[in-house]
Structure 1
Amino acid sequence: MLSRRILLCLLFLCVGLTACSSDKSEQFPVKNTPEIHDDGSTTLRRGNGAEPESLDPHQARSVPAANVLRDLYAGLVQIAPDGEIVPADAESWEVGEQKLVYTFTLRDNARWSNGEPLTAQDYVYSLRRSVDPVTGSPYAQLHTPIVNANDIIQGDKPTESLGVRALDDKTLEITLKAPTPYFLGTLAHSISYPVYRPAVEAYGAAFTQPGNAVTNGAYKMASWRVNSMIGLERNSEYWDDANTAIDRVEYYPITNENSALSRYQAGELDWATKVPISQYDAIEKYIPAQLHTQPTLGVYYYGLNLRRPPFKDSPELRHAMSMAIDRRVIVDKITRGDEIPAYGWIPPVVEGYAGAKFKWATLSDTDRQAKARELYEKAGYSEDKPLKVEIRYNSGEGNKKIASVIASMWRSVLGADVTLRNEEWKVFLDSVRQGASTEAYRLAWIGDYNDPNTFFELMNSKFGLNGTGYASAEYDRLQEKQAHMPDGPERQKVMKQAEATLLGDSPVIPIYFYVSKYLIKDYVKGFEGNPLDSYYSKDLSIEP
């Protein structure tokens, strides 16, 4: 008897739905066959950019890790397909009159993947763990709105003093130190996911591994072959399992955009997160319905290491390097996907804020380059004494092309002596975090919630992912002040001051604001782009 997959392929051929039957597909063939098994179950095959550095929700720090964790775990709230915050483990919540006390009621049917009930005590344990200095979470700073969180992170108070408590098994209370307009958004982040205490205590760091992992999301861990594939299977204990359509999800770490496209065309991927720039025109021409673009809460930037020369104590040099870059050339000739040149730090799609810009943003190219050379010389460099600087970036066609173009601009405009270094993702992240040898490095920041603070917070001197070493008491003061102000004209004013301070100090060089580009097969239904770039496999289905 023919398997269901073969029958489906024959059906596609008969009705002309496969890519093999048209002139277009002969020039740009795409195999359009979903993974449907004999029992009718479905598998979603997702490209994921890179191997996750960790699947511990409280230690992960990258987008590839966040993608997998979003399927494995649930928080008190989650991001709906349209980007709105909706209930998850918490079926409801109440906010006190002073907006300091949040009381969450957990669902009666919220359970761990082993069938054990999920309780408010699980959240108390997990939130304490996420700010414990022993855990070393790079995202611990997201919890600083909670009473005593900052003191705990700094090692000045015990974790038990965190402003969270279980009123009973299904009622969780969180107390903030000041009103925080974006607080609910932080609860959808992996730093706020609960972890299963018995597994953490029994297996230590290995609690994330197949056979050990106990999760509370729509999927559970099935397999993990490092640098090959992470396999998840449907979690029948998930509170909303009845509305989960896809039975298995496979994540493939593919850093090379051309490899991702080849596997997508060959039918090995249903969703590719890497779109090669060199093939963008062909994709738009031949499979436009499979290309999904979305302006995103993200900024592509170059960080400058302020812990060591040449950028330490040299704001003139930092500004010169930034001004020498023609951002319009990069978005028009390289990225070519409607990205927006960045002359400020906050993406324009963020809610409730119109950002500041560099003072020189309106200069002509000639004047901008002349000013860059003037500052370069003021910093002590010249044709006879050129700056020697290294650009470090992680693997990827786009990153390499942008690094090469920026190096060329620094050479031609300033006369700098520029070298390039490519590193594998995990090595690259460690290099940036340690800051011992980096000078200029490529990175990006995708907002964790839809509020300007998610970008301001990154550059706080205490934030674990601030790889520049930037430490400004004035900037920290302004960032922390606006974080606890109600939305309105006064907060707008303080945010503008914070961004102006950051741009004036210039520890980062914003290059462009993101537009996400995904290739998704026609038979994957339910995808809806949102500016947070936050997606759950449970919201999708496969319908050939």
Structure 2
Amino acid sequence: MKKIRLVRAASLALAVILSSVMVTGCKGNSAAAGSENSAKTAESGTASDMVVTMGMGSAWADLIPYNGASGGYYSQLVLELLYDRLFYLSMDGTVTPRNADSWEISDDRLSIVFNLNKNAVWSDGEPVTAKDYVFAARMITNPACTANHTFMYSILTGVDKSGKQSKTAEEVGAEAIDDYTLRYTFQGPISEDVTFPSYMYLYQPLPEHLLKDVAPADYVSNTLWNQPVGSGPLVFESTIAGSELVMASNQKYYMGAPGFSKFKITVMANSNMASSLLAGDIDLAYPPMSVDDINSLEGAGNLNVAHMEVATQPYMLMVNNLSYSDPRVRQALDLAIDRDAICKMLQKATPLESPIMVGTKYHDTSMTYQYDPEKAKKILEAAAADGSIDLIKGITLHTPSGIREKVANIMQQNFEAIGLKTEIKVEEAATMFAGFYDGTTEMGLVNMTMQSNPMYLKSMLTNEAASFINWPDSTWDDYYNEFMKAETDEDRVKVVMDMQKEWREQEPIIFYAGTYEDYAFNKRLGDGIGLEDIGLGNLPVWTWKIQN
């Protein structure tokens, strides 16, 4: 389970403020804004007049639901504030009501009925109904629709593996039983542990009353997205593309209006966030802060510092099977990596070997790492003798710049110590990932968010479609299918334990370190503000206990 520890700041502020800031652009969470200092409380001093500002390290892709995949978690976070979700998903896997008050899964686990909250309304006052969810499913899965985030609908009946309709819209497995009762029907049995966090938590309604006459081919280009009408806790006001977004508190939000007036997102360099927090120019920052920045903020009188106590940011070495299909190559690399040295360099990190989140019921505690260069060298030489790798030609290790480049330098030393010539190639992440598909990336350093869902890596391991590691057979898809068909919790745990045993032998992706997330935020936002779940694009602003 993921935990958060809140550190109370000392009563005195730091004696020295960092240099000047450059701001760039349960079962049941376009014009510029005005010139006021947005992180300061307005003159009246009441929470209702407060403007909260969040610094964000990268821009969201756009404000179009189901089209934010290229913006990753940044887009998910923005879209979650403007558009509602059926339920609230916590990082530890807990699912609690949001737009759906309750739900029932059929005995055969092939369908689920959601009972919607009858008080939910769009920001133009129209009610949010089951028909809006059905409309969304049919619009986004239409082959003519160019929205790029359709994979979550691929589990519905009437939809193919790409997330597009197999035949007609009416055959898509989404049905409005009545205005506030919604049913989804699936191609195979679902699991709350997998289906909710990997697919359904991204289901959002679309305003049918505004889009019903829009052709699917015109969905992305529709002018509605210049002034979007949403149903979430915040209401769109204005934006400067790529640098700023201003939203107002939704006073009609059925879970409770946020206790501030406006919420402003400002895109800025990560290196400026600590000084901006100290100065009070921003109230919180995303993504998580570096260890050095967090250390500089400890003890600041205006800030709370939140430390996550479970490592959920895994660092991985991905090996392309188009280059190296012999598992002995991956086994040798795994044994050669000095995880302790890497974790020391990362400062706040722990060695990893398993892809399963530590502390969950699915984690095999015997999955411990070994650092054994001599054994690694023998395994590698045997693989080379069989022609699986050319030690003289060596390998190219691809990595984005920054902290992973430093990791690559340590790995280069590790691999050359076992007789493997290693060249480091620093490039943009997008270029590296494109190379995985076409085979030009042999190996690459990747990091992501680990989930409590034990099958969260399915899309990276599958051989049913193009994947980064180009796995050649159905090994990991078979474990996924077996997990989904298991009828008891005990059976599901056994499937994942068996999968981890196979993982030791195959090493499809080499996990070597996990880092902890740290955040700092202004005390006036309250104590617990849900930052432990922000990695899933969640920010429950309606729950904040705003302090004057």
State if a TM-score over 0.5 links the two structures: yes
Q: Distance in 2 between matches of 1:138 and 1:497?
A: 34
- Secondary structure of 2:85's partner? coil
Q: 1:209 offset after TM fit, Å? A: 7.2
Q: Distance in 2 between matches of 1:281 and 1:399?
A: 21
Is 2:236–2:248's contact at 8 Å kept on the other side of the alignment? yes
Q: 1:330 offset after TM fit, Å? A: 1.8
| Cα deviation 1:216-252 (Å, max 9, x = unaligned) | 1111333333442233222334323x44113322233
- Secondary structure of 1:53's partner? coil
Q: 1:70 offset after TM fit, Å? A: 1.9
Q: Distance in 1 between matches of 2:339 and 2:284?
A: 29
Q: Distance in 2 between matches of 1:101 and 1:268?
A: 48
1:234 maps to amino acid: S
Is 1:320–1:375's contact at 8 Å kept on the other side of the alignment? no
Q: Distance in 2 between matches of 1:63 and 1:451?
A: 17
Q: Distance in 2 between matches of 1:435 and 1:100?
A: 36
Q: Distance in 1 between matches of 2:456 and 2:223?
A: 27
1:543 maps to amino acid: Q
Q: Distance in 2 between matches of 1:434 and 1:246?
A: 46
Give ranges in structure 1 of 5+ residues lacking alignment: 1-16
1:377 maps to amino acid: A
Residue 118 (str. 1) matches residue 128 (str. 2): yes
Is 2:337–2:414's contact at 8 Å kept on the other side of the alignment? yes
Q: Distance in 1 between matches of 2:544 and 2:274?
A: 21
Please, what is the CA RMSD of the aligned residues?
3.8
- Secondary structure of 1:321's partner? helix
Counterpart of 1:230 in structure 2 is 245
1:249 to 263, 266, 289: 263
Q: 1:189 offset after TM fit, Å? A: 5.3
Q: 1:530 offset after TM fit, Å? A: 3.8
Q: Distance in 1 between matches of 2:15 and 2:194?
A: 48
Counterpart of 1:438 in structure 2 is 441
- Secondary structure of 1:25's partner? coil
Q: Distance in 2 between matches of 1:486 and 1:531?
A: 29
Q: 1:265 offset after TM fit, Å? A: 3.1
Is 1:300–1:510's contact at 8 Å kept on the other side of the alignment? yes
- Secondary structure of 1:402's partner? helix
Count of matched residue pairs = 510
Q: 1:172 offset after TM fit, Å? A: 0.9
1:251 maps to amino acid: I
Residue 353 (str. 1) matches residue 362 (str. 2): yes
Q: Distance in 2 between matches of 1:511 and 1:220?
A: 42
Alignment of 1:356-375 (within 5 A): 361=368, 363-371=370-378, 373-374=380-381
1:67 maps to amino acid: L
Q: Distance in 2 between matches of 1:166 and 1:101?
A: 13
| Cα deviation 1:6-58 (Å, max 9, x = unaligned) | xxxxxxxxxxx999965x43376999994222354222222333222344332
Residue 84 (str. 1) matches residue 99 (str. 2): no
Q: Distance in 2 between matches of 1:81 and 1:317?
A: 34
Residue 194 (str. 1) matches residue 196 (str. 2): no
1:275 maps to amino acid: M
Is 2:100–2:117's contact at 8 Å kept on the other side of the alignment? yes
Residue 459 (str. 1) matches residue 461 (str. 2): yes
Could you tell me the TM-score, scaled by structure 1's length?
A: 0.80
Q: Distance in 2 between matches of 1:226 and 1:433?
A: 31
Residue 46 (str. 1) matches residue 54 (str. 2): yes
CA shift in 2, pair 1:412/1:485, >3 Å: same
Q: 1:134 offset after TM fit, Å? A: 5.0
CA shift in 2, pair 1:271/1:111, >3 Å: same
Residue 329 (str. 1) matches residue 366 (str. 2): no
Counterpart of 2:16 in structure 1 is 26
1:445 maps to amino acid: M
CA shift in 2, pair 1:188/1:153, >3 Å: closer
Counterpart of 1:538 in structure 2 is 542
Counterpart of 1:420 in structure 2 is 425
2:275 to 248, 256, 262: 262
| Cα deviation 1:454-484 (Å, max 9, x = unaligned) | 23454223467x4323242132122122023
Q: Distance in 2 between matches of 1:224 and 1:433?
A: 35
CA shift in 2, pair 1:25/1:37, >3 Å: same
Q: Distance in 1 between matches of 2:274 and 2:196?
A: 33
Residue 316 (str. 1) matches residue 328 (str. 2): yes
Is 1:94–1:104's contact at 8 Å kept on the other side of the alignment? yes
Q: Distance in 1 between matches of 2:91 and 2:440?
A: 41
Is 2:194–2:456's contact at 8 Å kept on the other side of the alignment? no
| Cα deviation 1:334-388 (Å, max 9, x = unaligned) | 2322x331111111144x3123776xx55453445434643563455566x1313
Q: 1:116 offset after TM fit, Å? A: 1.9
Alignment of 1:96-495 (within 5 A): 96-132=106-142, 135=145, 140-150=150-160, 153=163, 156-176=166-186, 177-182=188-193, 185-186=196-197, 191-197=202-208, 198-199=210-211, 201=214, 204-207=219-222, 211-240=226-255, 242-254=256-268, 257-272=270-285, 273-284=287-298, 289-295=304-310, 297-306=312-321, 308-309=322-323, 311=324, 313-331=325-343, 333-337=344-348, 339-350=349-360, 352-355=361-364, 361=368, 363-371=370-378, 373-374=380-381, 377-378=384-385, 381=389, 385-393=392-400, 397-423=402-428, 427-428=430-431, 431=434, 435=438, 437-447=440-450, 450-456=452-458, 458-462=460-464, 466-495=467-496
Alignment of 1:3-14 (within 5 A): none
CA shift in 2, pair 1:478/1:336, >3 Å: same
| Cα deviation 1:389-427 (Å, max 9, x = unaligned) | 04132x5x433333333334334444423223232x6x4
Q: 1:144 offset after TM fit, Å? A: 4.9
Counterpart of 2:29 in structure 1 is none
Give ranges in structure 2 of 5+ residues lacking alignment: 1-7, 22-36
Q: Distance in 2 between matches of 1:187 and 1:386?
A: 40
| Cα deviation 1:112-148 (Å, max 9, x = unaligned) | 2222221211111223345455557776454455434
Could you tell me the TM-score, scaled by structure 2's length?
A: 0.79
Is 2:138–2:169's contact at 8 Å kept on the other side of the alignment? yes
Q: Distance in 2 between matches of 1:298 and 1:286?
A: 26
Is 1:297–1:531's contact at 8 Å kept on the other side of the alignment? no
| Cα deviation 1:266-301 (Å, max 9, x = unaligned) | 333221234234445444576894243242544332
